[in-house]
Amino acid sequence: MFGLYLGDGHLVTSTRVPILRISCSNAWPGLINECDTAMRTVLAAKVQRIPKAGCLSVESSGVHWPCLLPRHGRGKKHDRPIVLTDWQRAILAAHPGRFLRGLFHSDGCRSANRVQVRGKEYVYPRYLFSNRSADVMGLCQWALDLLEIPWRMNLPWSLSVARREAVVALDRHVGPKF
């Protein structure tokens, strides 16, 4: 869930109870269910699914969401520091594959890359992850390194996992969207 939050979620804090909102595309009902289940497992007694244009907002209110997501704040995530607390880092270090699953399902994709080499076309699968936050990108790189999955930056805000064995390894952790 933390990876989904960093990509497609935000915490609304006001004078009332804080609300965690994560937007999930209608095209991926399995991802919506996983998000709902994760919220219930972590903290939420109640989760709401609010229809929006082309997506569903999975929401839960709870006074302790700010304790679990202490780097929330005003504005865009790429305009403020995203730094893990020691306890968050320890949890993610123990479960980097689950974290990567959330990141890639929110801000990444698995696609077929087509290249021409000496007139012959080659097609191979690869993962791309894109995020304008240098901190979120660094966390993705850190988690990939923990799993010893090679990656490379193809743009300042985009990384690629394209080696055959690396894609197979990432497939075991990220899996298909459904």
pLDDT at 163 over 90: yes
What CATH number is associated with residue 41? 3.10.28
Quick one: pLDDT at residue 176? Answer: 84
Residues 8 and 88 in one domain: no
Quick one: pLDDT at residue 70? Answer: 64
Q: How many folded domains does the chain comprise? A: 2
Arithmetic mean of pLDDT over the chain? 91
Query: Domain boundary residue among 73, 103, 135?
Result: 73
Band of residue 15 on the pLDDT scale cut at 50, 70, 90: confident
pLDDT at 115 over 80: yes
Residues 97 and 63 in one domain: no
What CATH number is associated with residue 145? 3.10.28.10
Residues 101 and 49 in one domain: no
pLDDT at 170 over 90: yes
Query: Domain boundary residue among 26, 47, 73?
Result: 73
What is the secondary structure of the chain as a DSSP string?
A: -HHHHHHHEEEE-SSS--EEEEEEETT-HHHHHHHHHHHHHHT-S--EEEEETTEEEEEEE-TTHHHH-TT--SS-GGGS-----HHHHHHHHH-HHHHHHHHHHHHEEEEEEEEEETTEEEEEEEEEEE-S-HHHHHHHHHHHHHTT---EEEETTEEEE-SHHHHHHHHHHH----
Quick one: pLDDT at residue 26? Answer: 92
* Residues 54-102 pLDDT 10s: 899 999 998 889 888 866 677 777 777 888 889 999 999 999 999 999 9
Q: Which domain holds residue 155?
A: 75-178
Query: Domain boundary residue among 26, 45, 73?
Result: 73
